[in-house]
Structure 1
Amino acid sequence: MRKLTIVLLLVFTLVLSACGNNGGNTSATDNLTVHIGLLKNVTHAPGFIALKNGYFQDAFGANVKIEVTAFDNGSDFSTAIATHQIDLGFVGPGPAINQFLKSENFRIISGSNNGGAVFIARKDSGIHSVKDLVGKTVAVPTKGSTNEISLRLLLKQEGLKVTTDTSGVQIITRAPADTLVAMRQKEVDATLIPEPWGIQLVEEGTGEVLVDWDKIPPNDGNYPLTLLVASDKFIQTHRDLAKQAIEANLKGIDFIHSHPEEAYELISAELKELSGKGMDVKLIKGALKHLNLTDEVNLEVIESMAKVSFDAGYIKDISEDKLDLSKFIDLSLLDEVKKDR
């Protein structure tokens, strides 16, 4: 009897140890809900495919529920991840940098897409070159957005200033869908806008390309426009799931490269699910030609974009020499995922 009691105690101790020894990286996913955020732009195509093809669900497992939130701009996304409304998702570096420097509680864990924004001038605006933007109004999705950073760099290259009067270039904010309406109604003269909105303006005859995607600064279009980020809390608690999210992103990229025709239809379907309206496959095909889908993350380019935000006054309470974004990027999970592939 005594031997049986000792055996039972040992078994009980081992069970307790197994349940409690997770090292802060629990694999218990029963009743877990993972909140994923992304924007309603074709530049987030790998995320669209990963959702539509079930890559996230397959990777996370049947016990994990996925809830998706679609945002109109990166600023709202960045606020949501910093305040734990979402766990991970896709966003541009501009607003993410600004928020990270305030909260420092989420990280870039993979790239997803470089480039994919175009500069469109309204056809009857009299704008034929960047120099013609003096006295004109240009729309960007939101203050501090990656598109605004690119616009400010473009204007600086041409020696133009951002002003609030007609002596320079006036920048206003409009959600991409609202920008289409504003261009049609001649409320704005031009826009630096992510796809598929740019190609839509061209196809409908409202605007024309002033600066194509592969000439947009920084780095002639080869700059991070869509990144996969995750909250520190999610990484610490569910590191394995964070790695699975990276894998889903990589599968999304691979699928678009290997099955482009199928991808167009799936992206349109996901757009309809996120925004209530799909998009003509012809437009999506044209938009995808303006993307460089990649998992790579260029710290040097991101730092150059942060300097623009600093100069524009979006980064406050910190001196430029204290801008350290090395902690903002954690590619260790990506390295592990690619090593195991």
Structure 2
Amino acid sequence: MTANQGPSSPENGHLETTRIVAGQKPKRKFRRVEFIAGAVLVVLIGAGATVVSINNTNKTPAAPVPVKAATLKLGYFPNVTHAPAIVGLQEGLFAKSLDGTALTTQVFNAGPAAIEALSAGAIDAAYIGPNPAINSYVKSQGESVRIIAGATSGGAQLVVKPEITSPAQLKGKVLATPQLGGTQDVALRSWLVDQGFKTTPGGGGDVIINPTDNAQTLKLFQDGKLDGAWLPEPWASRLVLEAGAKVLVNEADLWDKGEFSTTILIVNKKFLAEHPQTVTSLLEGHVASVNWLNDNKTQAAEVINAGLTKTAGKPLAQNVIDRSLTELTFNVDPLAGTFPTLLDHGVKAGVTKEADISGIFDLGPINAVLKTAGKAAVSAAGLGSE
């Protein structure tokens, strides 16, 4: 800097305003002033940053702006009890309602496996039995799933060897269910408790329960290695018509008016919060599918069979699918009033614990869809929003 230069500026890299004469060293006190001033400035900046940081932590984070999902990953089972999912896919009802959101699907044998996939983010929504949904809600303290609609009622039976004619004869016998903690597994275990039997998740107790893939259950029963199974449709009908089993318990007989949820529609809680528009679109397709099933009963077997052929490689025998459909009712009402009893069954079966399940239902979206269609709303029975 020359003697002709005036006060320095930030661009010059200094903060002091004292002129410096050419050839003369700056006095030490100015260096110290510059150093001290700089240090004070750093402290003030640091303090300011700290204040800003504290203020920011006290602010409530802005909620994410809901957007339409690019893809919806949907899970379901290759069962007649999941006909609303199958028909929605076969008839293009989901594709139409989702309009621009790509749909991918994954097939499961039973509910606990679907819940595991949902929790891991492998799927976003699923058709599933009620007990795995309840169990997930309880374990996650309400952070995992929301039930957004009903789908199917009925269609579950305990079928056994013909020589077994009473519950007392089940002691020491080997029975199967689709998966430990699944809806039929819970139903069987809780019913056995009512009959005075004890079971354990590990397969011990008075009656041995072996959770088994449904197709394998049929083969094992045919080979004489199982005494019976509590199964959803079409598997109960297949054991009766293809393997000579007899019905010992029709689950519908255990419920008031024979009404109990076999299949419901759930969604990941986070996905619902981030993509409510996509969830509503899914529900529009779901409602259309249930309506189709109820309005096209003569065509239902053919369409369901076509969907099952895609996943299983071959269709069901006509008598099997016909018998299955006589056991089922398709309705978007999840029968929320039965869920405290379903929770009790899970506790009795030893696969869940006592808990408050208030909040498990979010029926606002389905009721909005029903209102638009001129249909009556469905109830959460005090267990969530509607």
**C-alpha displacement of 1:121:** 0.6
**C-alpha displacement of 1:218:** 4.5
Instruction: Name the TM-score, length of structure 2 as normaliser.
Output: 0.75
- What CA distance in whole angstroms lies between the structure 1 residues aligned with 2:263 and 2:285? 15
RMSD of aligned residue pairs (Cα, Å): 2.1
**C-alpha displacement of 1:48:** 0.6
Aligned counterpart for 1:44 among listed residues 59, 82, 93 = 82
- Alignment-derived partner of residue 18 in structure 1: none
Aligned counterpart for 2:356 among listed residues 291, 303, 324 = 324
Partner SS, residue 188 of structure 1: coil
Aligned counterpart for 2:332 among listed residues 270, 295, 311 = 295
Amino acid at match of 2:356: D
- What CA distance in whole angstroms lies between the structure 2 residues aligned with 1:143 and 1:23? 37
Deviation per residue, 1:50-94 (Å, 9 max, x gap): 111111100011x32211100011111011111211111200011
The answer (yes or no) to whether the contact 1:24–1:236 under 8 Å persists in 2 is no
- Alignment-derived partner of residue 210 in structure 1: 248
Partner SS, residue 362 of structure 2: coil
- What CA distance in whole angstroms lies between the structure 2 residues aligned with 1:259 and 1:54? 15
- Alignment-derived partner of residue 148 in structure 2: 109
- Alignment-derived partner of residue 159 in structure 2: 120
Deviation per residue, 1:91-137 (Å, 9 max, x gap): 001112222222322210000011211110123xx311222111111
- What CA distance in whole angstroms lies between the structure 1 residues aligned with 2:123 and 2:239? 32
Matches within 5 A, 1:77-88: 77-88=114-125
- What CA distance in whole angstroms lies between the structure 1 residues aligned with 2:125 and 2:221? 33
Equivalent residues, number: 309
**C-alpha displacement of 1:22:** 10
Partner SS, residue 299 of structure 2: helix
Amino acid at match of 1:175: D
The answer (yes or no) to whether the contact 2:203–2:209 under 8 Å persists in 1 is no
Higher-Rg member (1/2)? 2
- Alignment-derived partner of residue 26 in structure 2: none
- What CA distance in whole angstroms lies between the structure 2 residues aligned with 1:221 and 1:153? 17
The answer (yes or no) to whether the contact 1:134–1:167 under 8 Å persists in 2 is no
- Alignment-derived partner of residue 317 in structure 2: 280
Aligned counterpart for 1:35 among listed residues 66, 69, 73 = 73
- Alignment-derived partner of residue 384 in structure 2: none
Q: CA 1:230 to 1:118, structure 2 compared with 1: closer, same or farther past 3 Å?
A: same
Matches within 5 A, 1:220-299: 221-299=258-336
Partner SS, residue 257 of structure 1: helix
Q: CA 1:220 to 1:80, structure 2 compared with 1: closer, same or farther past 3 Å?
A: farther
**C-alpha displacement of 1:34:** 1.0
- Alignment-derived partner of residue 188 in structure 1: 226
Aligned counterpart for 2:166 among listed residues 129, 148, 154 = 129
**C-alpha displacement of 1:329:** 1.0
- What CA distance in whole angstroms lies between the structure 2 residues aligned with 1:89 and 1:187? 32
- What CA distance in whole angstroms lies between the structure 2 residues aligned with 1:165 and 1:76? 19
Instruction: Name the TM-score, length of structure 1 as normaliser.
Output: 0.85
2:368 is aligned with 1:336: yes
2:112 is aligned with 1:75: yes
Could you tell me which runs of 5 or more consecutive residues in structure 1 were left unpaired when the two chains were aligned: 1-20
**C-alpha displacement of 1:165:** 8.5
- What CA distance in whole angstroms lies between the structure 2 residues aligned with 1:247 and 1:280? 31
Deviation per residue, 1:213-256 (Å, 9 max, x gap): 422x4546421110001112221222122112122122211111
- What CA distance in whole angstroms lies between the structure 2 residues aligned with 1:184 and 1:151? 21
The answer (yes or no) to whether the contact 1:150–1:218 under 8 Å persists in 2 is no
Deviation per residue, 1:256-302 (Å, 9 max, x gap): 11111211111111111123232123321210111121111233422
- Alignment-derived partner of residue 65 in structure 2: 24
2:271 is aligned with 1:197: no
**C-alpha displacement of 1:212:** 2.5
- What CA distance in whole angstroms lies between the structure 1 residues aligned with 2:191 and 2:256? 11
Q: CA 1:166 to 1:240, structure 2 compared with 1: closer, same or farther past 3 Å?
A: closer
- Alignment-derived partner of residue 160 in structure 1: 197
Q: CA 1:211 to 1:310, structure 2 compared with 1: closer, same or farther past 3 Å?
A: closer
- Alignment-derived partner of residue 207 in structure 2: 169
**C-alpha displacement of 1:159:** 2.8
Query: Which one scores higher on RCO, CA 8 angstroms, separation ≥ 6?
Result: 1
Deviation per residue, 1:149-180 (Å, 9 max, x gap): 21123223333332689972221111111110
2:346 is aligned with 1:309: yes
- What CA distance in whole angstroms lies between the structure 1 residues aligned with 2:138 and 2:123? 18
Partner SS, residue 191 of structure 1: strand
**C-alpha displacement of 1:209:** 1.3
Q: CA 1:165 to 1:293, structure 2 compared with 1: closer, same or farther past 3 Å?
A: closer
- What CA distance in whole angstroms lies between the structure 2 residues aligned with 1:49 and 1:74? 20
Could you tell me which runs of 5 or more consecutive residues in structure 2 were left unpaired when the two chains were aligned: 1-61, 374-386
Amino acid at match of 1:180: L
